[in-house]
């Protein structure tokens, strides 16, 4: 089952984010983010449940662009499936659910973000018919401004 994340998901989401980042964020930070997202109709954090256990998540968002004012763009990010639950179609179900929602808003294209070293994720996106497109650069900053070192 896939649904929107709720505040009580924060501890498990922090653990999942830790699997991606190497260390989990503070649960309070995840709770704050869930609260902010709940008030932002352009963004959703989805979770996948296996029974009552939360086993995957992603974030989907869209925005209008002056380059494509009629349709805008969608982004799927922070796709994470619990290490012990991979290979069971959870990532596929999350991506397809987020894609359907984004498509319903009228956005095109939809981008999915992944790091170069995440070859299993690349294989998933390839199998779902996503195309590699362009090059993305990132600048990391500290909260409140300034560049991270």
Q: Could you list the pLDDT tens digit for every one of the 149 residues in the chain? A: 999 999 999 999 999 999 988 999 999 999 999 999 999 999 999 999 999 999 999 999 999 888 777 788 999 999 999 999 999 999 999 999 999 999 999 998 999 988 888 899 999 999 999 998 888 888 888 777 666 66
Render pLDDT for 96-123 as a digit per residue (tens, 0 to 9). Answer: 999 999 999 999 899 998 888 889 999 9
Nearest Cα to Cα of residue 95 among 134, 66, 59: 59
CA distance 142 to 149: 9
Sign of CA dihedral 142, 58, 25, 30: positive
Alpha carbon of 133 to those of 6, 17, 113, 126, 136: distances in Å?
Answer: 33, 26, 11, 12, 9
CA distance 60 to 57: 10
**What are the sequence ranges of the domains in the chain?**
42-127
Tell me the fold of 42-127.
Answer: Aminopeptidase (3.40.630)
């Amino acid at each position: 089952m896939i649904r929107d994340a709720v505040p009580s998901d924060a501890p498990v989401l922090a653990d999942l984010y830790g699997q991606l980042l190497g260390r989990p964020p503070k649960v309070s930070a995840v709770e704050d983010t869930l609260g902010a997202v709940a008030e932002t109709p352009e963004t959703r954090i989805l979770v996948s449940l296996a029974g009552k256990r939360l086993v995957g998540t992603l974030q989907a968002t869209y925005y209008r662009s002056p380059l494509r004012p009629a349709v805008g763009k969608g982004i799927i990010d922070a796709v994470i499936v619990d290490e012990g639950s991979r290979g069971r179609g959870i990532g596929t179900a999350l991506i397809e659910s987020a894609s359907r929602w984004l498509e319903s808003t009228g956005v095109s294209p939809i981008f999915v973000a992944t790091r170069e070293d995440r070859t299993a994720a690349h294989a998933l996106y390839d199998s779902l018919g996503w195309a590699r497109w362009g090059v993305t650069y990132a600048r990391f900053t500290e909260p409140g401004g300034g560049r991270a070192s």
